[in-house]
Structure 1
């Protein structure tokens, strides 16, 4: 059975992420903008995964989908909830230095999630913020545009801050107004970005503190690639916060792993 491959899709409102695994190894990952036809997008991603791995469609035993629009992907054999997918994904993406993972902080483009795990990596509880963009990648993107930079640069720039600005608003609209005011005051861009990360960490950490866990904390989602944000979480939670391997694809990897487990049980 180990000669078969498994695919997972994480179909979000903005991007479709995909992962190809074999056994407990991540073979390839791909992402594309969702566009107006996410079915076509998923088909293109599947072709790209197979091309990179140099395999054929018959080599793939099972395709599983998660995410906002998972039920629309015709090529999927089954679907699974995002929370469950992320919990399984961390089994393959957790860095070696993170032991006995108890909490996942997932900072996505449209929402943020806190997932509490038991000692077997099963979901004990979770909290999701999907009603407000504050605490999400969209918030970072909006502020980055205001400060004439890009989302991939804000982490590095914020780490150069000498005096982080204070951003009090937890609403994106009001936070934008605060940032505009700080720019008018000629505040340093790096200090504003550092203040933004601190503000996000404070907001999301309130959700994380609901769960008492002695296990390691691991960040997933695109936000995990932002080193400034990761460090802000460490400062706020006063503990190590690790970055998952393939953090943006954790949900897709988890979906693929669940598909593998399900298929092997039925075989």
Structure 2
């Protein structure tokens, strides 16, 4: 179970299509956690008492009432990426709503080193949301539209969201096409993320998790700057998508937490909380 702003993910088993949900969270983590748990169980024959083990992760991890343990989202994203993209992954970039984390990992998904940007919204999902609100475009349209341009414009010069906002307003007033501004912002975000990765040192395979991983405008520009492609999914088959179970990078933390719980039980390092 992952509890954080802006998204809350619940994953009862780490297999596609089985009891998972993802939606926008609030500031009341305990209430949000219970709401999410009840939603996840709603269409099953299970109750909370039937769950063997629950791990809380994310910024609200210590406020998940039904969790027997909490783990950092860094550990859970590394483990989740290992499962989603394969044991060859050595660098994970989690681009979440509130921060960015560059993570080095081994073939088991164990964290070897990490660096993060948590001091401002630059290069995060929140920064992208502020930008989307400013230009009055749904956030999911920004990636595709950022490629509907005549030529690649210069990137937004400021990495600070506050100053970037002022710069975007100036570009709009100057009559710059919206798609060009989207391209300029995506380029700036990709560059910001690349700087963090360069500080850590990037090794292939390279995987991206979090909401911004869904923004092709940022991802493709980041790939171009780095000179490498992001990893392809290895556990997810086309048949799952055909059945309505989309591959979702925002579930990486929840998947990692579920796998940690499963492993702890198998190794006898945790006691089942099942009551029935």
TM-score, normalized by the shorter chain, greater than 0.5: yes
Give the length in aligned residue pairs.
255
Pick aligned residue for 2:159 from 152, 166, 170: 170
Q: 1:165 to 1:142 in 2, by over 3 A?
A: farther
Q: Separation in 2 of the partners of 1:172 and 1:258? A: 35
Q: CA deviation at 1:118?
A: 2.3
Q: 1:53 to 1:232 in 2, by over 3 A?
A: farther
Q: CA deviation at 1:122?
A: 1.6
Pick aligned residue for 2:259 from 253, 257, 260: 257
Pick aligned residue for 1:220 from 199, 209, 218: 209
Q: Separation in 1 of the partners of 2:118 and 2:222? A: 19
TM-score normalised by L of structure 1: 0.88
Q: CA deviation at 1:58?
A: 4.2
Q: Separation in 2 of the partners of 1:257 and 1:52? A: 22
Does the alignment pair 1:134 with 2:122? yes
Q: Where do 5+ consecutive residues of structure 1 fail to align?
A: 1-8
Question: Secondary structure at the residue paired with 1:16?
Answer: strand
Pick aligned residue for 1:145 from 133, 152, 164: 133
Does the alignment pair 1:18 with 2:20? no
| Residue 102 (structure 1) aligns with | 90
8 Å Cα contact 1:99-1:216 kept in structure 2: no
Q: Separation in 1 of the partners of 2:23 and 2:189? A: 26
Pick aligned residue for 2:54 from 63, 68, 75: 63
Q: Where do 5+ consecutive residues of structure 2 fail to align?
A: 234-246, 272-276
Q: 1:40 to 1:216 in 2, by over 3 A?
A: same
Q: Separation in 2 of the partners of 1:61 and 1:99? A: 26
Q: CA deviation at 1:155?
A: 0.8
Q: Separation in 2 of the partners of 1:57 and 1:110? A: 29
Q: Separation in 1 of the partners of 2:200 and 2:91? A: 8
1:37-76 paired onto structure 2 within 5 Å: 37-76=28-67
Pick aligned residue for 2:23 from 18, 32, 38: 32
| Residue 89 (structure 1) aligns with | 80
Pick aligned residue for 1:204 from 193, 197, 218: 193
TM-score normalised by L of structure 2: 0.86
Q: Separation in 2 of the partners of 1:101 and 1:36? A: 33
| Residue 238 (structure 1) aligns with | 227
Question: Where is the strand percentage greater, Structure 1 or Structure 2?
Answer: 1
Note the alpha carbon deviations across 1:27-54, whole angstroms, 9 max, x for none. 2321233335321221121122123444
1:159-198 paired onto structure 2 within 5 Å: 159-166=147-154, 167-198=156-187
Note the alpha carbon deviations across 1:78-100, whole angstroms, 9 max, x for none. 11111111111113222xxx671
Question: Secondary structure at the residue paired with 1:101?
Answer: coil
